[in-house]
């Protein structure tokens, strides 16, 4: 079956602009995660959805970052007033159940965001 997909694969924007990054999880997966991977670093947790609700958003760096999952499937990560420090690869993952079950998280290929 299809894996996690993310669009766009690459996004170049100018400082101060607004961007949206999309994630399509594996069909039937209730849990969805966003991570950010900067150059030379491991992925860093941003936010986790269980169904439509954000179960843990403790990793969002500031209020410029926001994510939604209105129908419990597709999710959009939104970044306002982008800064050069936001440049990174944004990874999305999904798992069947979440809820602390140690489920395997399946990762998408990522969106590479470059802020000029």
Interacting residues with other proteins (CB under 8 A): 4, 31, 33, 35, 40-45, 48, 55-56, 58-59, 91, 93, 95, 98-100, 102-110
Q: How far is the CB of 76 from other proteins (least distance, A)?
A: 19
Q: How far is the CB of 86 from other proteins (least distance, A)?
A: 19
Q: How many helices and strands (H and E) does the chain possess?
A: 0, 11
Determine contact, residues 111/6, Cβ cutoff 8 Å. yes
Query: Can you tell me the distance from the alpha carbon of 89 to that of 54, in angstroms, rounded to the nearest whole number?
Result: 21
In the complex with other proteins, the residue whose CB is nearer, 1 or 42, is: 42
């Amino acid at each position: 079956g299809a894996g996690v997909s993310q669009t766009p694969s690459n996004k170049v924007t100018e400082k101060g602009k607004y961007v949206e990054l999309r994630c399509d999880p594996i069909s039937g997966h209730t849990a969805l995660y966003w991570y950010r991977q900067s150059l030379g670093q491991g992925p860093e947790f941003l936010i986790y959805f269980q169904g439509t609700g954000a179960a843990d958003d403790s990793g969002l760096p500031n209020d410029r970052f926001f994510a939604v999952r209105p129908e419990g499937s597709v999710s959009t990560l939104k970044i306002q007033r982008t800064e050069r420090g936001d440049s990174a690869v944004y990874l999305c993952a999904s798992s069947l159940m979440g809820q602390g079950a140690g489920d395997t998280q399946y990762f998408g290929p990522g969106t590479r965001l470059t802020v000029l």
